[in-house]
Amino acid sequence: MSEDTKSPRRRIGGSGARMRDVAQRAGVSPMTVSRALNTPDRVSPEMRDRVERAVKEIGYLPNHLASSLSSNRSTTIGLIVPSIDNSIYTQTIKGLSDTIRRSGFQLMISECGYDPAEEEELIASLLTHRVSGLVLHNTAHTAQAEAMIRQSGAPVVENGNLPEKPVDMAVSYSNQAAAYAMTMHLGRLGYRKIAFASLAALNNDRSRSRIAGYLEALEALGQEPDPRLIIETGRGLAAGAEAVARIVQGVPEADALFCAGDVLAAGALFECQRRGWPVPGRIAIASFDDVELLRHVTPAVTTLRLPRYDIGERSAQMLLSRIIDGADHLRGSVVDLKFEIIQRESA
């Protein structure tokens, strides 16, 4: 019994039991409770039982803030994506989430909206919360952001592209190689006027890489690049529809449209359906991301299968290796998870 724990400071609203309460209940020292919970093989089985029973009886939930502060190790991973409500990131998030959860880690997710200054602010905030690792979708950062990362010593994985010189580690596919491969594929299928619809390249190195891959392929195919065939659009299905309209108006003889995004491709296809144009009869459509939607529309869309889930999973594995096993040899590694062309009906 005894309630004589002197507490000259707050202990507000039902914040729950402390380790010392468990210790008292089990008749052992707090240190033994700590060991029983964190390194069970370093206490006798009998003690382990006693402690476990006491934990259950008083409904003890350990305080990770205190344990992280004391041990200088945390069990949270920070993630910054350009946009939370974009389907292409959710698969990667799921891969990350599934993997870190198995090691008892939690995910802190923030959204930077394609803005490096926002990203910098969020990195600061996450480091302030002492995340033990970071996942960034961007591969371009402010100098200040890189400095903070370096100073913090936290391992980092970059995800959106294969960077020349990663801040720390990177896991991705090559946007340039993927765009090159699909453009070549369209060329080999016989298309002679291949248009390219892309998101704005500003602040988006993925977009820039994709355009570069497209141009590289045109050259390899011996096709003259035509600025009227390259258009930048906004986001959303409406942007895809607009892309079709602009291309066909500017270059009526265009026979294929390669959309650098699943949503754009779907929007383009729907616009063709609306106009009653046969695809690929009037114009072929190819996409960049294999989302479920593109498999089920009519015609099913030729696209690239990108390893979105695997990127998350692998990123998590590498971070955990660094954090838990101190796998320093991973520093500097850039993992290319490749991609695959999925040939369907639309091209």
Partner DNA sequence: GCAAAGCTTGTTAGCGCTACCTTGAGCGGC
Partner DNA sequence: GCCGCTCAAGGTAGCGCTAACAAGCTTTGC
Q: What residues line the site for a second copy (CB under 8 A)? A: 10, 12-16, 59, 61-66, 68-69, 72, 74-76, 84-87, 90-91, 93-94, 97-98, 101, 104, 106-111, 124-130, 147-148, 150-153, 236-238, 241, 266-267, 270, 273-274, 292-293, 295-298
Q: Are the CB atoms for 334 and 165 separated by under 8 Å?
A: no
43 or 79, CB closer to a second copy?
A: 79
2 or 72, CB closer to a second copy?
A: 72
Torsions phi, psi of 136, nearest 5?
Answer: -120, 140
Q: Are the CB atoms for 305 and 339 separated by under 8 Å?
A: yes
Q: Pick from DNA, a second copy, none: which does 1 bind, CB < 5 to 8 A by kind?
A: none
State in angstroms the smallest separation of the CB of 190 from a second copy.
26
Q: Pick from a second copy, DNA, none: which does 250 bind, CB < 5 to 8 A by kind?
A: none
State in angstroms the smallest separation of the CB of 177 from DNA.
44
Residue list 70-109, contact with DNA (CB under 7 A)? 70-73
Does 43 engage in binding with DNA (CB under 7 A)?
yes
Give the pairing of strands 303-305 and 340-342: antiparallel
280-295 burial, b for 16+ CB within 10 Å, e for fewer?
beebbbbbbbbbebbe
DSSP state string for 67-109: HHHHHT---EEEEEES-TT-HHHHHHHHHHHHHHHTTT-EEEE
SS3 334: strand
Q: Which residues bind DNA (CB under 7 A)?
A: 6-11, 15, 18-20, 28-32, 34-35, 37-38, 42-44, 46-47, 60, 62-63, 66-67, 69-73
